Amino acid sequence: MNRKSIATNIARKLWAQCGGFCQNSNCNKYLFANVEDEVVSLANVAHIIGHGKNGPRSEHELADYIDRDGIANLIMLCLECHKIVDELEDKFSVEQMQKWKTTHESKINSLFNFPQIYDERKLLEQINDLLIENKAIFEEYGPFSKQALQGSSGDTLTIWRRRCLDTILPNNQRIVGLIEANKGNFPYPWEVYWQMMSYKLHSDSFRDNCLLGKKVNDYKLFPREFDDFIKQSLGIPIDNLERRGEEELEFRQATVSAYIEKFLANHSFINRMKKLNIAMFDVDLNDGRSLRVFATNTYFFTEYTFEKIMAIDPGIDAIICSNPYGTYTWEAKALCIEREIGLFTLKTFMGAIRKDGNEFLNYLVQEEKTNRLSFSQSLLSEASVPSRFQVYLFGSYLRRELYNDIDLILVYPVGADQELVSSTLESIRQVFKERASQLDIIVCSEVEYTTMRFEDDNRIRIR
């Protein structure tokens, strides 16, 4: 049985407490690593008192009383520190880890000691400076920037992710903190505080989408009214809000349309493309199939977005999240597959159209397959697997974007001690348990393995 995931509100508090750094006082490693054009999270939520009777530090006197998945029993560590404190539990007491957490939180809080400001104009000037910096980053590297829509190297996405973590998130936190810390210095009701609340909702959603594994479905977009209010209060001229929104929508739609045509017009498997309107077009493929395609510039596609598109045209065959940074929820992908509608990024669509049926709907790009292989090999390297044992990966995990589980075959040599086989199996389960979904392992001898037959054989040896 899979252990339940940490509640979103608990995860938020942990991220706020750690500030993006390992909470081990002797480590303090930054919890994100840059690998070429990708940003990889090194963060691990660790239990101070582990689950079960045999979990790390589970003999502590608090074990029978503490909420094992509550904020008081959790600490944010890097991968290395998590492994060390659990495997060498006798060297890391409950009290020591609680002290790490308290000390670290105090350090983070000290970075955001907000000054008491009694001149409203000076306060608003500080806030406006932070908004200007965020806007400059968004316009240069954000999901609708010219670099994102026209670039091809992937560097813009890397820079955007980095600036979100090291600049925009701290700026958002400081904007909200400055206003909340000074609320008592101005007459009640203070208009600045009430205007800030919509910005705070956006800030929380933006932080969740940057840091948490589960994205926020109803993402609160940047409230332009807050930015306008700050500037108007300072006497800074602003554009007409309604006209600016129309110009931005026109720019985004026209750019997305051009972006689609740029990549699909010369696709070798497309026989003809006919544009129906700003967002829809028909595609005739070389194998005789015809697809009605809806291109959305949505930054984050959810089940709600799907229903909106279906209200426009229920006869859609495929939906493309065309924005270079665009992505979608697994729930939305599953819903589309259930309705027999393809949901893709532009890159995935370009490969998927060569397939049909379920292979089209649930197409897995080679890059993602390679990533899954590397991920599985990395996890397996942490397990204790004897040299003569073999491990194979196969099944839907290597075939489909949405998969049922991770299928492994553990092959042991003839004559191997059964206790060794059992301990190897348990070691593999343990390393996959914290960082992967449902795991299904077939255990067999070398002789039994030679007799196995698979209807769709995609076995790959990873050990």
pLDDT tens for each residue of 357-387: 999 999 999 888 998 999 899 888 888 999 9
* Residue in 321, 404, 393, 399 with CA at minimum distance from that of residue 366: 399
CB 12 within 8 A of CB 103: no
CATH (one of 3.30.460, 3.40.50, 1.10.10, 3.30.70) for 366-461 = 3.30.460
* Residue in 218, 367, 360, 366 with CA at minimum distance from that of residue 293: 360
Of the CA atoms within 13 Å of residue 63, those in its CB half-sphere come to 15
* Alpha helical stretches, state H, 185-295: 191-211, 224-233, 241-264
In the predicted structure, residue 3 carries a pLDDT above the cut 70: no
Q: Sign of torsion, CA 75 77 79 84?
A: negative
In the predicted structure, residue 4 carries a pLDDT above the cut 60: no
Query: Averaged over 304-311, what is the pLDDT?
Result: 88
Higher pLDDT, 450 or 217: 450
Query: Averaged over 119-143, what is the pLDDT?
Result: 94
Note the pLDDT of residue 244.
52
Higher pLDDT, 87 or 434: 87
Query: Averaged over 277-292, what is the pLDDT?
Result: 91
Q: Which of 113-127, 314-328, 335-349 has the lowest mean pLDDT?
A: 314-328
Q: Please state, for a pLDDT cut of 90, what percent of the chain lies above it.
A: 44
Type and span of the H or E element at 285: strand 280-285
* Residue in 224, 220, 194, 193 with CA at minimum distance from that of residue 207: 220
Q: Which of 148-157, 248-257, 371-380 has the lowest mean pLDDT?
A: 248-257
Query: Averaged over 339-353, what is the pLDDT?
Result: 93
The set of residues, in sequence order, having a beta carbon less than 8 Å from that of 140 and lying 6+ positions away, is 147
Instruction: Supply the DSSP string of 317-336, one letter for each residue.
Output: -EEEE-STT-EE-HHHHHHH
Note the pLDDT of residue 6.
72
Fold classification of 248-361 is 3.40.1340
Note the pLDDT of residue 155.
78
Query: Averaged over 203-219, what is the pLDDT?
Result: 68
In the predicted structure, residue 241 carries a pLDDT above the cut 60: no
Q: How confident is the model at residue 230 (pLDDT cuts 50, 70, 90)?
A: very high
Q: Which of 46-50, 142-146, 382-386, 404-408 has the lowest mean pLDDT?
A: 142-146
Note the pLDDT of residue 346.
85
* Beta-sheet strand order (sheet of 290-296): 270-275, 280-285, 290-296, 318-321, 342-345
Note the pLDDT of residue 52.
72
Query: Averaged over 429-454, what is the pLDDT?
Result: 86
Instruction: Supply the DSSP string of 36-74, one letter for each residue.
Output: TTEEEE-EEEEESS-SSTTSTTTTSTTTTTS-TTSGGGE
pLDDT 10s digits, 51-66: 777 788 988 888 877 8
Of the CA atoms within 13 Å of residue 80, those in its CB half-sphere come to 9
Q: Which of 178-187, 212-221, 310-319, 447-456 has the lowest mean pLDDT?
A: 212-221
In the predicted structure, residue 249 carries a pLDDT above the cut 50: no
Q: Which of 74-78, 239-243, 305-309 has the lowest mean pLDDT?
A: 239-243
In the predicted structure, residue 2 carries a pLDDT above the cut 50: no
In the predicted structure, residue 196 carries a pLDDT above the cut 90: yes
Query: Would you list the domain boundaries of the chain?
Result: 8-110, 120-238, 248-361, 366-461
Whole-model pTM above 0.75?
no
Query: Averaged over 271-299, what is the pLDDT?
Result: 88
- Whole-number average pLDDT of the chain: 85
Note the pLDDT of residue 135.
93
Note the pLDDT of residue 153.
53
In the predicted structure, residue 281 carries a pLDDT above the cut 60: yes
Q: How far apart are CA 203 and CA 212, in angstroms?
A: 14
Token pair of 157, please?
């996405």
- What is the number of other CB atoms lying within 10 angstroms of the CB of residue 239? 11
